[in-house]
């Protein structure tokens, strides 16, 4: 078995020639200049590479690798606990054409016993990621990519065979997530003026898991990214590139509007969300219809959207329990974004607008 790189120094020409032997088709990597990215990843380290070859090849000259996180708390509390590296390597191995643009995966490996992990991908430049400073135009573009993606996998039986995807009826996963979210919301409350709606939703879910999972089992399902927000997206620039979605560490088999709710709830400021919401929702529904999903009504969408807002807040409550909030503050602050607003407040406002706690209690 090949060694799995852990640092930039491990990406040598010899290692790349082994990893890329089939794609190289007789060519050779002659040099690799690798460096750790200045922008930290939350669940993995990111390595940027410039690669040279001894002759022309279709392989890219610029690559990006994700390798095992150096943070032992992240590894134990998130990666190993939620099996994220296995999920992501399985995604790239089994879904090279999932129906939405993703990075070109050149090599992947994962050791479940040690959580050593590598994903080697083509660089998406000149496309760039806005991170949390995403524009409303970019949000509209990202939301417009969802209907055809979701329609492609609408109620597709193949998804139910993937044990590395989070299934809508996966009791142990949701039991752990709802428990962690309840604790995380209480931890997060120390940093926020008012998290009562979030705390109430997390407490209710923890105490009524069976009821909630019974309801989700009645819903149409599709391939859901699971963490569909601005930091996971690259957008074209004047120099070129295309819209792409990264970080497939939490793919769900669930209702499509969960992705919609994740992006809209977290990344649109509240006044923009309220103004744009009707148009964005109508566009999603029309996109599904155009792509062949004809039996999904506005009321169906609104129910799944409400639940999607709740699930998004579950994810962020868990994140607050396992992440040093100074990382949120530094990253968002450098972009001129209020970290508290983006991480929890916006979605809580959407939950309040859509009466999510009452909705959960009525299921």
What DSSP assignment string belongs to 263-308?
HHHHHS-HHHHHHHHHHHHHHHHHHHHHTT--S--HHHHHHHHHHH
Residue range 168-177, pLDDT digits in tens: 999 999 999 9
Question: Residue 40: its pLDDT value, please?
Answer: 67
Q: What CATH superfamily is the domain 8-122?
A: Phosphorylase Kinase; domain 1 (3.30.200.20)
CB atoms within 10 A of CB 171: 11
Evaluate if residue 1 carries a pLDDT over 80. no
Q: For the whole model, what pTM was predicted?
A: 0.95
CA distances from 33 to 13, 28, 39, 51, 160 (A): 9, 15, 18, 7, 42
CB atoms within 10 A of CB 77: 16
Helix (H, G, I), strand (E, B) or coil at 89: helix
Distance CA 321, CA 189 (A): 11
Assign domain 136-362 one CATH number from 3.90.1200, 1.10.3470, 3.30.43, 3.40.50. Answer: 3.90.1200
For range 217-225, the mean pLDDT: 98
Residue range 56-84, pLDDT digits in tens: 999 999 999 999 999 887 888 778 788 99
Query: Residue ranges of the domains in the chain?
Result: 8-122, 136-362
Residue range 77-88, pLDDT digits in tens: 778 788 999 999
Question: Residue 285: its pLDDT value, please?
Answer: 98
Q: What are the tokens at 127?
A: 């496309």
For range 13-23, the mean pLDDT: 97
Q: CB-based burial of residue 358 (10 Å sphere; 0-12 exposed, 13-18 middle, 19+ buried)?
A: exposed
User: What's the start-to-end Cα distance of the chain, in Å?
Assistant: 49
Question: Residue 150: its pLDDT value, please?
Answer: 98
């Amino acid at each position: 078995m090949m060694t799995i790189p852990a640092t930039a120094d491990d990406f040598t020409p010899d290692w790349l020639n082994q990893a890329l032997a089939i794609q190289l088709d007789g060519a050779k990597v002659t040099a690799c200049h690798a460096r750790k990215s200045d922008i930290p990843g939350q669940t993995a380290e990111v390595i940027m590479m410039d690669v040279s070859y001894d002759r022309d090849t279709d392989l890219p000259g610029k690559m990006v690798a994700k390798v095992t996180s150096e943070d032992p708390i992240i590894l134990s509390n998130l990666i190993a606990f939620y099996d994220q590296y296995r999920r992501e390597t399985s995604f790239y191995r089994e879904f090279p054409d999932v129906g939405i643009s993703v990075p070109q995966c050149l090599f992947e490996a994962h050791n479940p016993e040690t959580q050593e992990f590598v994903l080697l991908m083509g660089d998406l430049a000149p496309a760039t990621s806005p991170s949390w400073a995403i524009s409303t135009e970019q949000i509209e573009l990202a939301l417009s990519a969802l209907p055809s993606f979701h329609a492609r996998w609408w109620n597709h039986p193949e998804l139910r065979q993937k044990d590395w995807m989070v299934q809508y009826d996966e009791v142990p996963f949701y039991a752990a997530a709802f428990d962690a979210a309840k604790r995380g919301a209480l931890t997060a409350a120390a940093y926020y003026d008012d998290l009562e709606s979030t705390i109430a939703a997390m407490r209710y879910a923890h105490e009524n898991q069976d009821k909630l999972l019974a309801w989700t089992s009645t819903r149409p399902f599709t391939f859901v990214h699971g963490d569909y927000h601005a930091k996971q997206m690259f957008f074209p620039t004047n120099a070129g590139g295309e819209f792409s979605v990264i970080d497939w560490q939490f793919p769900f088999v669930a209702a499509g509007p969960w992705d919609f709710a994740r992006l809209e709830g977290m990344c649109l400021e509240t006044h923009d969300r309220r103004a744009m919401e009707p148009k964005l929702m109508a566009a999603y529904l029309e996109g599904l219809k155009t792509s062949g999903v004809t039996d999904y009504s506005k009321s169906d969408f609104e129910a799944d959207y409400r639940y999607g807002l709740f699930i998004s807040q579950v994810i962020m409550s868990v994140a607050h329990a396992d992440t040093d909030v100074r990382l949120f503050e530094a990253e968002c602050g450098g972009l001129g974004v209020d970290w508290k607003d983006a991480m929890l407040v916006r979605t809580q406002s959407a939950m309040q607008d859509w009466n999510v706690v009452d909705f959960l209690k009525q299921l």
